[in-house]
Amino acid sequence: MKAEYSQGAQAMGRETITRLLFKFSTPSIIANLVSASYNVIDSIFIGRLGAASLAAVSIANPMMFIYNAIGMGTGVGASSLIGRYLGAKKYEEANRVVGVAISSFFILGGIATAIFLLSLDRLLRLFGADETVLPLAKSYMYVETAFIVVNFLHLTLCEIVRGEGRPVVASAAMITAGVGNCIWDPILGYGIGPFPRMGMAGFALATSIGRGMGIAILLYHFARNSSFKFTPGCFVPDLQVVKDIYRVGGATMVRMAGGSFSHILANLEAARFGVIPVAVLGIIFKVSSFAGQPCMGIAQGMLPLVAYNYGARQIQRISEIVMKSIIAAFSWAAFCWALALLFPMQICSIFNTDPQFLAQGSQGLRIFCLAFLTVGVQMVMSYFFQGIGKGKPSLVLGAARQIIFLIPCLLIMPPLFGLAGLWLAFATADILALICSLLWTWSEFRELGIPLNWRRSQKAPTVMSLVERPVKDDPKS
């Protein structure tokens, strides 16, 4: 078993950083772009039903953020812990983490399904649904909620497979899910051939079918090609392993759940100006997701590399990994910012051609897109802390943008500047969160003795940096 792991994992500590980042990030970027594309395609299909349908999806988004937060948090926490154990050559512990992560996912998935199904109406009203939007949002979210477990399993297993050093498998599963969703969207939403027209429920069901197709690929990998070797005891919940998983994965959960709470507040603020601003807000989030997903792909590819080299005590490689990831993420974000600034009306017209929608959407996108310049760098820094297993900074940085800064901005700026203040609140919060991330990351680099170099120095790490720092001795630290 050790030989199997060595062949699959040791490249993370030996190959050149540029090649490794390309190898690990490219599949994630492609998969995340496909994922963002099918979210956009979802909105295009739904937008043909009218602005109220787009508003319904915008109202439903906070609940979907919470669902994704639990699945992604479990997967990212497990991936970081797995990578550090593999770097330290603790293979049995890595097997244990996978088993506990999967059993934890089933427990959380079942609890979340029961809670949300029993309170769906009340939650959607709380999130800003009025009598026009509520039936559409309820039809969509009832199906999404019923299939929470499918969503959780897909996200969790993808992150675990990345931690194993198999990014292509994880990306293949995500791409399959996206393609499956795009195929089934018009069939179930509009009713094609023998299938009845299901409307909003059909679009939600298409998403779940696509994710089920992706899960099939992941389960095949675990059954036939995975390096992980399980015994029944691996799946018995272990409190310490659960703590280690969520100490790191909790940052992802807070970041995404925080996005849910801030989205609820943004929906409520937008609803003060009418249904169309709510629809515009939902579209802007979709476009923002398309811009942010490649940055997340870079960060996802970086995380197992940071975790492995941290566990293997190769400090100087971490510097090159992080700095090159920042450069790549910022370059993509700047490209997306330029597109949104130059062509806002053309982008909005993809979803709906109502003149009022286009006017408000163009203004909102131009202001909101300032946030694109910061999102990639923030993601890389947050994932860096998760990679080295630092729960506190990753938790705070995960909460900084969505909770600490955005919620006050949403409460203050729309009353002062009207609808433009709503869009400006997001850009302001992102700039403040970026400053916080830069300062904390610089401080952590100094503490660990990591140089700020985008190329690896030829000078060997000092004995102090490798031996005398107790934080590196245990992958759980």
pLDDT digits (tens, 9 = 90+) for 264-285: 888 888 888 888 888 888 788 8
How would DSSP label each residue in 420-472? HHHHHHHHHHHHHHHHHHHHHHHHHHHHHT----SS--SSPPPHIIIII-GGG
What contacts 82, CB < 8 A, 6 or more positions away?
94, 97, 98, 160, 163, 164, 304, 307
Residue 467 reports pLDDT greater than 60: no
Cα dihedral 390, 395, 401, 405 in deg (nearest 10): -120
Q: Which of the four pLDDT bands, split at 50, 70 and 90, describes residue 243? A: confident
Q: Which of the four pLDDT bands, split at 50, 70 and 90, describes residue 412? A: very high
- Report the range of poorest mean pLDDT among 59-73, 129-143, 371-385: 59-73
Q: What is the pLDDT at residue 454?
A: 59
Q: What is the pLDDT at residue 11?
A: 67
Terminal C-alpha separation, the chain? 25
pLDDT digits (tens, 9 = 90+) for 325-348: 999 999 988 998 999 889 988 888
Rounded average pLDDT over 417-421: 88
Residue 117 reports pLDDT greater than 60: yes
Q: What is the pLDDT at residue 245?
A: 84
Neighbours of 32 (CB within 10 A): 25
pLDDT digits (tens, 9 = 90+) for 161-193: 877 778 788 888 888 888 888 888 889 988 888
Residue 464 reports pLDDT greater than 50: no
Contact between 104 and 74 under an 8 Å Cβ cutoff? The reply is: yes
- Report the range of poorest mean pLDDT among 137-141, 195-199, 253-257: 253-257
Rounded average pLDDT over 408-419: 90
pLDDT digits (tens, 9 = 90+) for 119-145: 888 888 887 777 888 888 888 888 888
Average pLDDT, the chain: 80
Q: What is the pLDDT at residue 309?
A: 84
- Report the range of poorest mean pLDDT among 94-108, 302-316, 388-402: 388-402
Of 395 and 104, more confident = 104
- Report the range of poorest mean pLDDT among 4-8, 169-173, 264-268, 378-382: 4-8
**CA neighbours closer than 13 Å in the CB half-sphere of residue 130:** 11
Q: What is the pLDDT at residue 1?
A: 43
- Report the range of poorest mean pLDDT among 218-222, 425-429, 455-459: 455-459
- Ramachandran angles phi, psi of 128, nearest 5°: 115, 10
Q: Which of 228, 216, 108, 136 is nearest to 172 (CA)?
A: 216
- Report the range of poorest mean pLDDT among 45-54, 275-284, 348-357: 45-54
Contact between 73 and 249 under an 8 Å Cβ cutoff? The reply is: yes
Q: Furthest-apart CA pair in the chain: how many Å? A: 70
Contact between 318 and 310 under an 8 Å Cβ cutoff? The reply is: yes
Cα separation, 179 vs 367, in Å, equals 32
Q: How many helices (H) and strands (E) does the chain have?
A: 19, 0
Cα separation, 176 vs 187, in Å, equals 17
- Contacts for 392-396: CB closer than 8 Å, 24+ residues apart: 393/440, 393/444, 394/248, 394/251, 395/250, 395/251, 395/254, 396/436, 396/440
Cα separation, 364 vs 366, in Å, equals 6
- Report the range of poorest mean pLDDT among 150-164, 329-343, 428-442, 445-459: 445-459
Residue 461 reports pLDDT greater than 80: no
Residue with tokens 């787009």: 54
Q: Which of the four pLDDT bands, split at 50, 70 and 90, describes residue 413? A: very high
